[in-house]
Amino acid sequence: MAMIETINLTKKYGEFVALDNLNLAINQGDCFGFIGPNGAGKTTTIKVLATLLKPSSGQAMIDGLTVGYQNRQIRPIIGYVPDFMGAYTDMVVVEYLEFFAACYGITGPARVKVVQDVLDLTDLNFKATAEVNSLSRGMQQRLSVARVLLHDPKVLLMDEPASGLDPRARVEMRELLKELKRMGKTIIISSHILPELAEMCNVVGIIERGQLLFNGPVSEAVRRAKMGQVVNVAVTARPREAAELLAKIPGVSKVQIAEGAGPISAGLATALISVTFEHGGKTDLSDLPNVLINAGFRIAQFSEEAVNLETAFMRLTKGLVA
């Protein structure tokens, strides 16, 4: 059974559909990266799972418990990290954590120990007596993570935890999330920093306008995007003729000569030609150079455009926003 599951999850605000029959299944121990443009439905999904919003229809379940009906049993097993920290900034860090530990019913020596443990885990010991409102944005985000770890939840729901962080703070947040993953936590994290998600997450979901376009391993998202791969070829002469020849290859959907190539003298300059293959077109590129060489063209460069999670996102979405 999945740790997190949604079945035809729909959320409407009047006539506006924020989530449209969303079906997700996230297993225990997964680090799930939630990707989509602003207004796609990521925050709405996370708030439903955090029991802060009630679905209009469909179901959302965490560890077999149904959101909207078993919220009291769900809340002790989840930790919700919003994109901004919120209130209680006039406390010092250790008081802030002790306050929330008390809210979770942790008392006496156990509370002292758990506060110290989360300070150690999030590397906030040196800020234990600092006021929360004096902390940098990165430190406040780490404190927000420390807060939700006090009761040792099974599931972490993190909405843009790296938003607004400087490069060093993003690296520190990434390392903290990797450690939480090693601890066996099930994590949902939404972010616009796709290279970091690719490094941290084993599963991703791509959502657009409330509809799930993809849900699966990062490698599968990249594989799907690679079906429409782009190859760059530089020839030393006759670029238009080379482009016409390449356009005749089965599976090629677009051939474009780089702008500003200008006249070419053999051996002295090159023109770059971009060749795009249609989805499901060509996967073996080994014979492509031979086509040009056999026709008398000299190749100065031949490279396949790198395909990563960013590429997959751009190719699997249409740029629609709510």
Query: Which tens digit of pLDDT belongs to each residue from 211-224?
Result: 998 888 877 777 76
**Is pTM beyond 0.85 here?**
no
CATH class of 230-306: alpha beta
H or E element that contains 231: strand 230-235
Q: What is the C-alpha to C-alpha distance for residues 157 and 320, in angstroms, rounded to an integer? A: 25
Q: Quote the Cα angle for 58-40-54, to 5°.
A: 35
Tokens (6 digits) for 207: 């959502």
Q: What is the C-alpha to C-alpha distance for residues 97 and 73, in angstroms, rounded to an integer? A: 22
Q: What is the mean predicted confidence (pLDDT) over 170-189? A: 89
Segment 48-61, tens digit of pLDDT: 999 999 999 999 99
Q: What is the mean pLDDT of the chain?
A: 85
Contact 181, 150 (CB under 8 A): no
Q: What is the mean predicted confidence (pLDDT) over 67-88? A: 88
Q: What is the C-alpha to C-alpha distance for residues 112 and 119, in angstroms, rounded to an integer? A: 11
Q: What is the C-alpha to C-alpha distance for residues 139 and 30, in angstroms, rounded to an integer? A: 25
Q: What is the C-alpha to C-alpha distance for residues 249 and 277, in angstroms, rounded to an integer? A: 9
Q: What is the mean predicted confidence (pLDDT) over 172-195? A: 86
Quick one: 3 exposed, middle or buried, by C-beta within 10 A (0-12, 13-18, 19+)? buried
Contact 52, 5 (CB under 8 A): no
Please state the domain extents for the chain. 4-217, 230-306
Q: Which CATH architecture has domain 4-217?
A: 3-Layer(aba) Sandwich (3.40)
DSSP E strand boundaries for 41-93:
57-62, 65-66, 78-81
Segment 25-51, tens digit of pLDDT: 999 999 999 988 888 899 999 999 999
Contacts of 137 (CB under 8 A, 6+ apart): 164, 165, 166, 169
Contact 195, 310 (CB under 8 A): yes
Segment 235-285, tens digit of pLDDT: 888 888 999 998 888 878 888 887 544 444 444 457 888 888 776 555 567
Q: What is the C-alpha to C-alpha distance for residues 322 and 319, in angstroms, rounded to an integer? A: 10
Closest CA to 271 of 232, 245, 217, 220: 232
Segment 100-154, tens digit of pLDDT: 999 999 999 999 999 999 999 999 999 999 999 898 888 888 899 999 999 999 9
pLDDT score, position 268 = 42
